Amino acid sequence: MSTVNRIGILGGRFDPIHLGHLGIAEIARRALALDRVLLMPSRISPHRTAPARATDGDRLAMAALAARADACLSPCDLELTSDAPSYTSVTLGRLRDRGHRCTQLFFIVGADAFAEIATWHEYPTVLDGAHFVVVSRPGHPVADIVARLPDLRDRMRRIADDSDVGTVDADSVPAVFLIDAATPDISSTDIRARVARGAPLAGLVPANVAAYITHHRLYEMRSGKQHA
Ligand code: ATP
Ligand code: MG
């Protein structure tokens, strides 16, 4: 059994990881007193058709560089080392197999992604595998989630960005925590487009990630080291 009590998991393409990702990781960590947040690049997203632009190795390397920003962050290759598609239900099952209770696991997700939860593999039982922490994204307030997913209202709990962590009970049944917070208006899609036209990345990705992108010539129009 792990000695870490509360583990956050932030999954994503991270193509590349950016300050919006680190922002929601930090918001969830503070609001729910998480001991650690795993930055977990997904291998094959079942929700997308296009492959990642950067390789698995590059996306993991950038997650590792970004994790240096905070001692609570760790890169995690759990999905990259699996042959199966990156289904959240399977990933959470593997973490539980390692000894973590479902109420120790907090799957962090932006409101844009959670809006599609009904299309996820093993919905709705996937929601019993962990707490879900849904954080607003520019243009995606959590109120939209409440309106869109009325069947989940009984398990939804809105918490304030600056809530007193001692007041949030997360030890009984898995819940869907909803947090409205000021997250930066950053997306990987925009970052890739910026690199392709030679625009700077200052303020969008950590400096060490920007240096990695430049050094490895990721996302350039005619770079060879990418899939598409
Ligand atoms: P892309 O543009 O390629 O879709 P992205 O910036 O949306 O990339 P993802 O890897 O798709 O990043 O997102 C991983 C997770 O991080 C998702 O749960 C997503 O909702 C969340 N997320 C990404 N960017 C932000 C942001 N700026 N604010 C809040 N949440 C975000
Ligand atoms: Mg996205």
Position 202 in a domain: no
Q: Which residues, at least 6 apart from 198, have a Cβ–Cβ distance to it below 8 Å?
A: none
Q: How far is the CA of 33 from the centre of ligand 1 (A)?
A: 22
Position 203 in a domain: no
Position 228 in a domain: no
Alpha helices (H) along the chain: 19-32, 56-67, 88-97, 111-114, 142-148, 188-196, 207-215
Bridge-based pairing of strands 36-41 and 7-12 is: parallel
Say whether pLDDT at 136 is over 80. yes
Position 210 in a domain: no
User: Is the CB of 165 inside a 6 Å radius of any atom of ligand 1?
Assistant: no
Position 215 in a domain: no
What are the pLDDT digits (tens) for 8-28?
999 999 999 999 999 999 999
Both tokens of 172, joined, read 């009984």
Position 161 in a domain: yes
What are the pLDDT digits (tens) for 37-54?
999 999 865 566 676 689
Q: How far is the CA of 48 from the centre of ligand 2 (A)?
A: 10
What are the pLDDT digits (tens) for 175-224?
999 999 999 999 999 999 999 999 999 999 999 999 999 999 999 976 44
Bridge-based pairing of strands 7-12 and 176-179 is: unpaired
**Cβ atoms 15, 59 nearer than 8 A:** yes
For the ranges 105-114, 136-145, 172-181, 215-224, which has the lowest average pLDDT? 215-224
Strand partners, 108: 10, 133
Query: How many Å apart are CA 101 and CA 132, to the nearest integer?
Result: 14
pLDDT at 188: 97
User: Is the CB of 17 inside a 6 Å radius of any atom of ligand 1?
Assistant: no
CATH number at residue 115: 3.40.50.620
Query: How many Å apart are CA 188 and CA 42, to the nearest integer?
Result: 14
Q: Peptide bond before 16: cis, by omega within 30 degrees of 0?
A: yes
Position 64 in a domain: yes
Q: Which ligand is nearest to the CA of 138?
A: 1
Give the domain extent around 131. Answer: 7-188
Total domains in the fold of the chain? 1
User: Is the CB of 135 inside a 6 Å radius of any atom of ligand 1?
Assistant: yes
pLDDT at 85: 82
For the ranges 105-114, 153-162, 187-196, 197-206, which has the lowest average pLDDT? 153-162
**Cβ atoms 161, 23 nearer than 8 A:** no
Query: How many Å apart are CA 33 and CA 190, to the nearest integer?
Result: 31
Q: How far is the CA of 76 from the centre of ligand 2 (A)?
A: 19
What are the pLDDT digits (tens) for 65-81?
999 999 999 999 999 99
* pTM of the predicted model as reported, rounded to 2 decimal places: 0.93
User: Is the CB of 75 inside a 6 Å radius of any atom of ligand 1?
Assistant: no
Position 166 in a domain: yes
pLDDT band at 2 (very low <50, low <70, confident <90, very high): very low
